[in-house]
Amino acid sequence: MDEMDEAMARLDALMAGARRAEEAVAEWSARRFTGRADEGRIEATTDALGVLVGLRIHPVSRARMDARRLADAITAAIQRAEEAAESARATVLP
């Protein structure tokens, strides 16, 4: 019966580890990541997969930048948010 008890203990440990991993992934996937540009006046937010879920552009940025500079700043903010999401993903899913 010792073999059976030992096998059950190993199974319980595996199941507990799987539950912890599942909880960590669920917590990570609910997170949001932010990237900023133009001294924080442009802010992009992505989900854990790097999908853009929000973009805030301060009126000052819109007024003082031409279309090309504004597009570059928006792109930079999005890339920073995506990089933050990727960095967090690497710690949860090595």
pLDDT tens for 18-72 read: 888 788 778 777 899 999 999 999 999 999 888 999 999 999 999 999 999 999 9
| Superfamily of 32-94 according to CATH | Nucleoid-associated protein YbaB-like domain (3.30.1310.10)
Taking the C-alpha atoms of residue 27 and residue 81, their distance in angstroms, rounded to an integer, is 18
d(CA 39, CA 94): 32
Which residue carries 């992505």 as its tokens? 46
The CA radius of gyration of the chain, in Å to the nearest whole number, is 21
The tokens describing 61, both together, are: 């940025």
Model pTM greater than 0.75?
Answer: no
Cα distances (Å, whole numbers) of residue 67 to 6, 63, 70, 71, 72: 67, 10, 5, 6, 9
